[in-house]
Amino acid sequence: MNEKIQLFLQKVEEDEALAAKLSAIKNPDEAYAIATTVQDGFTKEEFVTAMEGIRNGDLTADDLGKLAGGVDATATISASMSVYSGAAAAGGAAI
């Protein structure tokens, strides 16, 4: 996973307001736009791939913990990235 996306995920874990803001979004394009204001250095494709990996369970709790510097980030990051499930259910842009 792109190192910059890892930094973004760490920021999401550390910032409850950011996590809440992202979890309320139902549009992947809007989520990417917000993500790039928090952390630069990754493409939309890299972002989408990483978020799909989280949503699909491709990353284990241990992997997510490593991303967050050893803190158990599973619940916060997974909840924050539920935007993709919501967008798909609402007929949003395909990822």
pLDDT in tens, 31-74: 999 999 999 999 999 998 888 888 787 766 566 566 555 544 45
Region of residue 75 (phi > 0: left; psi between -120 and 50: alpha; otherwise: beta): alpha
Show the tokens assigned to 10.
Answer: 């760490």
- Taking residues 12-30, report their average pLDDT: 88
User: For residue 80, what pLDDT is reported?
Assistant: 55
**Distance of alpha carbon 62 from alpha carbon 20, whole angstroms:** 23
pLDDT in the model for residue 40: 94
Find the length of the chain: 95
Cβ–Cβ < 8 Å for 6, 67: yes
76 pLDDT higher than 80:
no
> Residue 75: its pLDDT value, please?
53
Rounded distance, CA 95 to CA 3, Å?
21
pLDDT confidence of residue 28:
85
